[in-house]
Amino acid sequence: MADYGFAPLTRADYPLMRGWLAQPHVRAWWGDPDDEIAMIDSDIDTGPTDMRIVTHAGQPFAYVQDYPAHHWPMPHYADFPEGTRAMDTFLGEPSMLGQGHAARYLRARAKALLAQGAAAVVMDPSPDNAGAVRAYRAAGFVGDEIRQSEEDKPVLVLAFHPD
d(CA 49, CA 65): 7
CATH number of the domain at 109, please. 3.40.630.30
| Residue 2: band (very low, low, confident or very high) from pLDDT cuts 50, 70, 90 | low
Is 125 within 8 Å of 137 (Cβ atoms)?
no
> Looking at the domain assignment, is residue 43 inside a domain?
yes
Is 100 contained in some domain?
yes
Let me know if residue 66 belongs to a domain.
yes
Task: With respect to residue 83, please indicate whether it lies within any of the assigned structural domains.
Answer: yes
Domain contains 140: no
Inside any domain, residue 144: no
- Quote the CA–CA distance of 129 and 81 in Å, as a whole number: 26
CB 67 within 8 A of CB 49: yes
Give the strand pairing for 50-56 and 4-8.
Answer: antiparallel
Domain containing 41 equals: 4-120
Number of structural domains in the chain = 1
- Is the pLDDT at 133 greater than 70? The verdict is yes
The model's pTM is 0.92
- Span 18-76, pLDDT tens digits: 999 999 999 989 989 999 999 999 999 888 999 999 999 889 999 999 999 999 889 99
Q: What is the pLDDT of residues 3-19, one digit of tens each?
A: 899 999 999 999 999 99
The dihedral over CA atoms of 72, 8, 24, 160, expressed in degrees to the nearest 10, equals -60
Q: Is residue 146 part of a domain?
A: no
The region that residue 7 occupies, defined by phi over 0 for left and psi between -120 and 50 for alpha, beta otherwise, is beta
